[in-house]
Structure 1
Amino acid sequence: MGCFLRARADLGDRGALWGVAAGAAMMAWMRPGDAVWVTLPLLVLSAVVRRWRSPRLFVALAAGLGTGAGAWVFESHASYGGLGQRLSDASRIQGGRGWNFAVDDQLRSLVGRTLCRPCTGDLPHVAVMAWWFALPVLAGLGLAVAIRAGRGAPTLALLACAVSAAAPYLFLIGYAAPRFLLPAYALLAIPVGDALVCLVTGPNGAWRPVVGTVVVLGLVGHVSVQYVVLAHTVKGTVAVRDGWSRTVMELSRLGVRPPCLLTGHNAIPIAFYAGCASAHTSGNNANVTREGILRGAERMPAAVLVAPGGGPPEFARGWPSHVFGELRVHVAPGRESPWRPPPAVGQEALVMKPSLTLSKMGR
């Protein structure tokens, strides 16, 4: 954004033009879809709006997007049946892109849910949500401050990019995660900063004691609430990962050790901790057939992890079952790994082994 504004002010600034192209390429390389949404207002401004029209800026943006997304587009045609098919598959995995009012989902995710899908339950306490509603108000105040200072156009362009970046995650998908809106928050931080500075200082730059104190107390309260959310999230995350580590220890005791194969509930992270391959026959992570799992179980220790209240797949119903905590594990009979942990190996050594793919296990 900064390079775009610099290049608009001085089209002879080659460094700024290269910065526009490089920034667009980096965004498209990381997340092609998001890059298009973030740069959409800039593309429109540089191509359509007379005061902002600049073929050089438009070409720099388009070239950057094309360069960054080139490998992704090529991969779409080489491995996914074309760009349209890949976009269609991505939409299906996300539950179908289209009108989905996800503002309430984003609010529910503010309590520390890294992925809110399905996003159910009550809305968080008002203290947790207050900053989210204050953000657009302060951004609007920041725009007013910028207009009064004669720099309204750049701030308006920045806000347009923030709105464009947030729109698909607020209105086009049916779930939420706090990280989805991080680009929008970063863009909004600039006008919000302008607004806060304007609130706490007078026309001559003098400190306003009353308003300044209120703003400082508000920021302290916000940081305190965020710390509580962080502590709660960390506590829950540590508990979950401790559970995965205990599951790995129990699986090792049952003979499910590398090389091994896991499928079912939370199979991917637990397999990573255990040094096993993970496999799924259905869902977004499907990577093998039923027969493929059975063939794998003939070559190595294999187990099915069953969530509380669930049942094993048909092929594992006859496998011996074991329960630890709320998790039920069905272990394929007749296979034990020749690998044994040395006496000094503990939980820490087990959880650091990398997960292997099923294709590697079959070599």
Structure 2
Amino acid sequence: MHLLNDIDGQLAEWAAARKLPKFRIKQVRRWLFEGRAGDFESMSDLSKKLRDDLADTFTLWTSTVAKHTQADDGTEKLLLTLAGGGQIECVLLRDKVRRTLCISTQVGCGMGCVFCASGLDGVDRNLTTGEILEQILLLQRLLDDDERLSHIVIMGMGEPLANLPALLPALEYVARDDGLGISHRRITVSTVGLPNSIRKLADLDTRYRLAISLHAPNDALRDEIVPVNRKMPLDDILNAADYYFERSGRRLTFEYVLLADLNDRPEHAHQLVDLLQGRTALVNVIPYNPVSGLPYRTPSSDAQQTFRRILEEGDLAVRFRHRKGDKINAACGQLRRGTNESLTQID
């Protein structure tokens, strides 16, 4: 059994069957989240018999690291091969004092954003709670002893709101004081914009930060860049986003990948100002990270500066994301796709 799928339930059943005191469960949890244990044998304050019993009963890691890449800026990326089938990617980002993990929720993605490597082959399946939590714990083990995890973003492969039943229990383990103790305000869930699921997230009172991937300031252009927009237009998405803000009080983030000669012109910036003006929100502009085999390009420096100036003059809160990990294919889906292409060439 994969312990990470249901830590509380499975440990409680295991302890009850052996008539063990509850503090034994706390010890195991502490080793998982604080001790960064790589196996049951390393849980040194448990007896040898209990460690052997845990190993006989549970599986801790179900994935294998197919590739581990590192960049000069401290970014590290894992390509994981899953026992349940498929490969996913997850990333550790180092930025001054912040240590941020970016994790995946699906094998592939079904949203069809035309510029994204994750969705080029569609979606295979949802990840389990254990597979989501496993990414977090594996990445945490890459940290030095003096480093502490500070933020988690659900911006890897897949559409998080299409897999809420598995994602939310994993994040609750992360947020709990006897988990990783990461505040809800330091956990960001990124979505292409599924209005019903956004409202559900608001009604559950999770209070995670919400990032909505717009990539276009009007429906006609967004239909082209994000095909799912044809079923869920901008008005529906923005109304749901406003509802989330009302219920959670968390400032919204709107993601905008800047694509040369497609959505980076001054008129697009002005339209974006008209669309978002008056909202308590941050516009996170991301110059495109090119993907092999796709025709999209990074905008020129002049185009980026003009776009930013127009947004700032329109009184929008703006952040231009500094690209990290370019040399290790840190953008979603690039490492998996590159590895698959290499394997195809070898075969």
TM-score normalised by structure 1 residue count: 0.26
- Scaled by the length of structure 2, the TM-score of the pair is 0.27
Structure showing greater radius of gyration is 1
> Where is the helix percentage greater, Structure 1 or Structure 2?
1
